[in-house]
């Protein structure tokens, strides 16, 4: 939770991603799902929709709406996330 916003953080090698932690299909935590590294997607554990870590767009049904993504970067081993810009 960052500034009241539920965010899932994903690190793939030296790339970091910050994506809304609530599935757009139901109120389910995406951070409990599986990361698809090659596809750069996060899979919802409940019904299997996957979301792009790049732009939050759904890549598989049943979800049809995107989830928000946020700017994230690695700085001295820490992850910086920008919320609300």
In angstroms, the CA 37 to CA 34 distance is: 9
Window of 3-11, 19-27, 64-72, 76-84 that interacts with ligand FES by CB under 6 A: 19-27
In angstroms, the CA 1 to CA 3 distance is: 7
Q: Is 62 in the site for ligand FES (CB under 6 A)?
A: yes
Q: Is 23 in the site for ligand FES (CB under 6 A)?
A: yes
DSSP 50: E
Q: Which of 8, 10, 63, 72 binds ligand FES (CB under 6 A)?
A: 63
Give the residue from 55, 58, 67 showing the smallest Cα distance to 29.
Answer: 67
**Residue number with CB closer to ligand FES (18 or 44):** 44
């Amino acid at each position: 939770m960052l500034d009241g916003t539920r965010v899932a953080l994903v690190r793939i090698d030296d790339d970091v991603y910050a994506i809304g932690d609530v599935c757009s299909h139901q109120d389910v935590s995406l951070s409990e799902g599986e990361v698809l590294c090659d596809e750069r997607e996060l899979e919802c554990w409940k019904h299997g929709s996957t979301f792009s870590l790049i732009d939050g767009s759904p890549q598989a049904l049943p979800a049809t709406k995107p989830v928000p993504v946020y700017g994230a970067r690695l700085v001295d081993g820490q992850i910086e996330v920008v919320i609300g810009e």
